[in-house]
Amino acid sequence: MPLSIAASTVNTKDFFSLPPETAVAEAAKLMTEKSIGAIMVIAPRSAKLLGLFTERDLMTRVVAKGLNPATTTLDEVMTKDLITITAKTPVHDALELMRDYHCRHLPIVESDAAIGMISVRDLYSVVITNLKEDIREKEAFIYGGGY
């Protein structure tokens, strides 16, 4: 059975969100402080996911266009057409989506509500851990339990 996102990361991964009226400068500061590459933009009174603001959005939609980060809001420059997954999405499917859509972060949603976010780095870590475990099991089978 394929390893799902929930089984691997959702329960241990925090995510950060801001309301759409937040200034880009404030979002960039939070991203820098937390060493993260993306922030979910969520409706204030619900957990509805409205968009995603990424480092790429900052560069292509703010800096390259000469917009003022102090006065430009996330709503103006966030990515709105999102590719999302659920907590039941298999890890390999999430990686394929990231490859196919050239993205490094996927919001995890349930009933339009954001419940987490996963990065390509998180997924590769899960894959590597599982590969190492699989190799150990196969070596133990081939060479015996004390190998």
Burial 116-141 (b: 16+ CB within 10 A, else e): bbbbbebbeebeeeeeeeeeeeeeee
Q: What is the pLDDT along the chain (147 residues), one digit of tens a residue?
A: 566 665 555 544 568 999 999 999 999 999 999 999 999 999 988 879 999 999 999 999 999 999 999 999 999 999 999 999 998 999 889 999 999 999 999 999 988 788 889 998 888 888 888 888 888 888 888 888 655
pTM for the predicted model, two decimal places: 0.80
Residue 11: per-residue pLDDT: 45
Domains along the chain with CATH numbers: 5-143 (3.10.580.10)
Residue 1: per-residue pLDDT: 56
